């Protein structure tokens, strides 16, 4: 009986850890900033992120394909012409630095297969968004650091072609706007 209890406890701990793929890092005694709670979006890229009171992100819409996904989730998306794409999200992290008031988000896509045109992309992706919220609490000015590692496959190209150099990063400045509460205009 003791052995069965240990096995059940072990399985519960393992499954509990596996299903919770979200880390929030706050300085000791600090709380996640209230002005960050809510939904933030960048219309040009399609990014959309919602922060809960504790800093967790229940889901995000990525710039890549404007796919909506949750941390730790594997999801298949139906595409045009009967094609499909699949993303496997890894562990996501939100970190708040109370001294600089900077919020940093790391979103990891451990594996992806995206069908486009006559071919497909495979690989993985790490996205980092880091920045400070404006004084009025309506704009989150971020550096968007994207670290894609994609291989493109086209008809007749079975080996694939890397689209980036190993370790290549791309940096762009973005402004996220906070969604209006209760249907008010932004």
Amino acid 161: pLDDT = 86
Show pLDDT as tens, one digit a residue, over the chain (186 residues). Answer: 333 323 333 332 333 333 479 999 999 999 999 999 999 999 999 999 999 999 999 999 999 989 999 999 999 999 888 889 999 999 999 999 999 999 999 999 999 999 988 889 999 999 999 999 999 999 999 999 999 999 999 887 778 888 878 778 999 999 999 998 634 443
Q: Enumerate the β-bridge partners of residue 136.
A: none
Contacts of 183 by beta carbon, 8 Å cutoff, 6+ apart: none
Biggest alpha carbon–alpha carbon distance for the chain: 61
Amino acid 118: pLDDT = 83
Domain ranges of the chain: 19-181
CA atoms of 54 and 151, how far apart (whole Å)? 37
Query: Is the Cβ–Cβ distance between 140 and 130 less than 8 Å?
Result: no
CA atoms of 73 and 173, how far apart (whole Å)? 28
Amino acid 181: pLDDT = 67
Q: Enumerate the β-bridge partners of residue 8.
A: none
CA atoms of 121 and 43, how far apart (whole Å)? 24
CA atoms of 41 and 140, how far apart (whole Å)? 9
Q: Which has the closest alpha carbon to 161: 169, 170, 149?
A: 149
Enumerate the H helices of the chain as residue ranges: 2-19
């Amino acid at each position: 009986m003791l052995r069965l209890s240990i096995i059940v406890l072990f399985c519960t701990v393992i499954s509990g850890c596996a299903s919770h793929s979200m880390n929030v890092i706050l300085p000791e005694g600090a709380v996640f900033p209230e002005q960050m709670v809510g939904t933030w979006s960048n219309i040009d890229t399609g990014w959309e992120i919602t922060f809960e009171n504790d800093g967790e992100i229940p889901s995000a819409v990525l710039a890549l394909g404007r796919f909506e996904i949750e941390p730790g989730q594997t999801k298949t998306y139906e595409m045009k012409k009967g094609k499909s794409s699949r993303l496997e999200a890894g562990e996501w992290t939100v970190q708040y630095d109370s001294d600089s008031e900077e919020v940093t988000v790391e979103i990891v896509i451990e594996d992806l297969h995206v069908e486009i045109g006559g071919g497909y992309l495979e690989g993985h992706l790490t996205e980092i968004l880091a920045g400070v919220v404006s004084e009025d609490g309506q704009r989150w000015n971020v550096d968007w650091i994207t670290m894609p590692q994609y291989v493109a496959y086209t008809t007749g190209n079975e080996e694939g072609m890397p689209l980036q150099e190993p370790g290549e990063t791309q940096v762009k400045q973005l402004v996220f706007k906070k969604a209006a509460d209760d249907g008010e205009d932004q």
